Amino acid sequence: MSKLLPPHGGKGLTVTLLEGSERDAELKKAQGLRKVEISRGERGDLIMIGTGGFSPLGGFMTREDWKGVCENMLLADGTFWPVPVNLSVSKEDFDAINDGDEVALYFAEKDEFMATMKITQKWEKSEDDKKWECETVYKGQGEESADDVFWKIAMEDHPGVQRVMADKNYFLAGPVKVLSEGDFPTKFKGTYMRPADARAEFDKRGWGTVAALQLRNPMHRSHEHLVKIAIEVCDGAFIHSLIGALKPGDIPAEVRIECINTLIDGYFVKDFAVQGGYPLDMRYAGPREALLHATFRQNYGVSHMIIGRDHAGVGDFYTLFEAQEIFDRIPYAQEGCPDPGKALLCKPLKIDWTFYCKKCDGMASMRTCPHGKDDRVILSGTKLRKALSDGEPVVDHFGREEVLEILREYYAGLTEKVEVKMQKAASGADMK
């Protein structure tokens, strides 16, 4: 019997991905339905719904779900959920579709039918609604989220806000039957995992407690240190990389996967570390996204989510440990849930700011190192990307040399580089 946490929502894995003859029949039906185009971000959400990664969601949210998630982090039925998962459509599609209709969800970039969907609700968001969503979900406590600053810069500097405001004002809700996982299973063969795959791997290893590390940057010494701490207190660690879309200037998934494999091969006991990939695009929602990461990781069998400094942040919209603090304020975190399956069971593994200390002669944190700022090598993915992008030397103890060689080769092959903006969290400006 599995020792892993049950999936979120109390209903087991909600899998809507069809396979075999059932998929063939539904795909044939899709070709005769009204074709509704979806965005790249919606495609990632759809695949997560299909594979059970977004359990208990079986489709896109109603207006009641959306409002409850933004306002209280609860779906309409009282299940914890921290970030909206919506499907926006054109006015033409909205007007032509009625409740009860079935439509085909189509990803034009790859010329692929991704799913069929039965419409249970048509609903709208005004521009004010979208701004309210941005303020409740994406606005943090950092200096760039101050009331007199946020809307002056968010449309230019916050990818999550850009995504919400770029949505059309018309939305469809309803269950989906997913027909495809896109090119993720082939492009990332051996790394891409469905929740059931991850659970089977953890069960095979006899794990009951599993800590996940969220990665969107190359794995540097601080990440390595975090995972090794987690392995000491849990049965094993799941290094779980985002393989969907990032913002310009971030490093592609293929390169990051090679870096992680190199680290696991050279610096980990393989019995206690597993690498996996998942197909979402980053939302950069900081604290709310940290909660989303814990929520869907529970579906993968994870019991603890590693939350360090500036988790899922962008710019200076969030304070350094805001993503840790939010776990203490979520519904059901400190009081009983009427249905325990609806509460978030995956716990945060909160770890302080980590760095290399020259005087300690090793990795340390603010809680373990008594020395000053001048003795510390401040590690961050953004700082590493900026140094490599600008052709600057990488300071000693920042990363493993084998990994840095992979990254240098990648940057040397770029014909066009994107300027990497340094925020305070990455530069170490806030370190005392």
Residues involved in catalysis: 216-217
Write the single-letter amino acid at 209: T
121, β-bridge pairs: 173
Distance CA 9, CA 345 (A): 10
Calculate the alpha carbon distances from 145 to 213, 224, 319, 380 in Å: 26, 31, 10, 22
- Sheet strands (E) in 179-258: 210-215, 236-242
Calculate the alpha carbon distances from 174 to 42, 223, 419 in Å: 14, 39, 41
Residue found under tokens 């409002």? 67
- Sheet strands (E) in 76-134: 88-89, 102-107, 112-118, 121-124
Element (H, E) at 350: strand 347-350
91-117 b/e (C-beta count within 10 Å ≥ 16 → b): eebbeebeeeebbbbbbeeeeebbbbb
Sequence-separated (6 or more) residues with CB below 8 Å from residue 179: 17, 18, 23, 26, 27, 30, 113, 114, 115, 116
Element (H, E) at 60: strand 59-60
Q: Structure tokens of 362?
A: 């090793």
Are 256 and 217 within 8 A, CB to CB? yes
Nearest 5°: CA angle at 229, between 223 and 231? Answer: 105
Distance CA 391, CA 389 (A): 5
Distance CA 151, CA 134 (A): 10
Residue found under tokens 């299909």? 50
Helix, strand, coil percentages for the chain (3-state, nearest 5) = 40, 20, 45
Are 309 and 427 within 8 A, CB to CB? no
Are 352 and 344 within 8 A, CB to CB? no
